[in-house]
Amino acid sequence: MSDDKKPSGGEATSNGIKKHRTSLPSPMFSRNDFSIWSILRKCIGMELSKITMPVIFNEPLSFLQRLSEYMEHTYLIHKANLCSDHVDRMQCVAAFAVSAVASQWERTGKPFNPLLGETYELVREDLGFRLISEQVSHHPPISAFHAEGLSNDFVFHGSIYPKLKFWGKSVEAEPKGIITLELLKHNESYTWTNPTCCVHNIIVGKLWIEQYGNMEITNHKTGDKCILNFKPCGLFGKELHKVEGYIQDKSKKKLCALYGKWTECLFCIDPATFDTFKKNDKKYGEEKKNLTKTASAEEPDEMPLPDSESVQVIPGSTLLWRIAPRPPNSTQMYNFTLFAMALNETEKGMESIIPKTDCRLRPDISAMENGDIGKCLTKQYCK
């Protein structure tokens, strides 16, 4: 891709940096008059990739564009490249891996299914990367992506085969596929797989999302591993959104402890200090749990979503990553981040540069973004 033909979008400011939009052309549609249960009640235990869902439950992005949201916190990769110590680099890579799933928080809309051969190209000079993604298989649906630093300092690539299943009250998305990050300056290659994502209260109640499962990040040059546990919510919601784990060397010696929330932040600390804190916190948690059981003789039929609370920072911790606040209009804009709001924007002349297979040229996605649900519904390939 030549420098004079970059499909980045936005308007140039006086200093040459492109200014990206901060809202969509139209707010999201209300889903109150539609019942997803009428569609899913016959699909319990089935894989959802072969089921046509009403377009009203979509968000105006292709899954290929959702993949590009991995790059929102690219600065963590650049920071890793600047670190001379392998443990410090692993900390930055772990923070990047956690931040890559943060955009899914409260994003209960389904992205459009990519068509076979569909592509997406993005260049963000302000963030220092360019990316291309493509739908390389239809059955099973496999999306591949390749990103690289504009300074030729990293390569980030992988393929994702999202397996979606409906389990009565929830939809579970298991992101099959390996993700690879190469830090070229250090000749290091890191690989990992994202945790499982689950959307709850599909039938009744407020939709909410949790991530759970282990993420194992491996540095194939040094043998270092970072094993992170994305905790399931639990009975009383105490573990909601929490993630914690350790960086260890090839002999499994703990070098560093990591903790935080994938929706909010990630910290690192000495593993001995972390273990002591966890031991004391566990005792406190058991006492609180016993008091709660005494106060309530009967458990609720469905666990209520607990109030959001900040991470309890352990003294001596170092902040690795904190999520940027979403814009005030985010709830009316499919809960998009500022990064996501810019993914469909175009500038004059762009349509003659990007290939005809690019997501931004799909009339169904464009119709939804512009608030024309009627036009969107007329397209037979709406997925």
- pLDDT tens digit at each of 383 positions of the chain: 545 455 555 555 444 557 889 999 999 887 666 665 565 565 655 555 555 667 778 899 999 999 999 999 999 999 999 999 999 999 999 999 999 999 988 888 889 999 999 999 999 999 999 999 999 998 889 999 999 999 999 999 999 988 877 776 777 888 889 999 999 999 999 999 999 988 887 766 777 888 999 999 999 999 999 999 999 887 667 788 999 999 999 999 999 999 999 999 999 999 999 999 988 876 545 544 544 443 333 333 344 444 445 788 999 999 999 999 999 999 999 999 999 999 999 888 888 889 999 999 999 999 999 988 777 665 444 44
Position 47 scores a pLDDT of: 58
What pLDDT, on the 0 to 100 scale, is given for residue 213?
Answer: 93
Q: How far apart are CA 333 and CA 330, in angstroms?
A: 5
Neighbour tally for 112: CB within 10 Å? 26
- Measured CA angle at 283 (ends 281, 289), to 5 deg: 100
Asked if 201 and 36 count as a contact pair (C-beta separation under 8 A), the reply is no
Find where tokens 């899914």 sit: 104
Contact at 8 Å (CB) between 135 and 116? Answer: yes
Residue in the block written with tokens 């209960």: 108
- Label residue 53 exposed, middle or buried (CB < 10 Å: 0-12, 13-18, 19+): middle
The radius of gyration of the chain's CA atoms, rounded to the nearest angstrom, is 22
Are 193 and 160 in contact, with CB atoms under 8 Å apart?
A: no
Instruction: Report the DSSP beta bridge partners of residue 233.
Output: none
Partner residues linked to 12 by β-bridges: 18
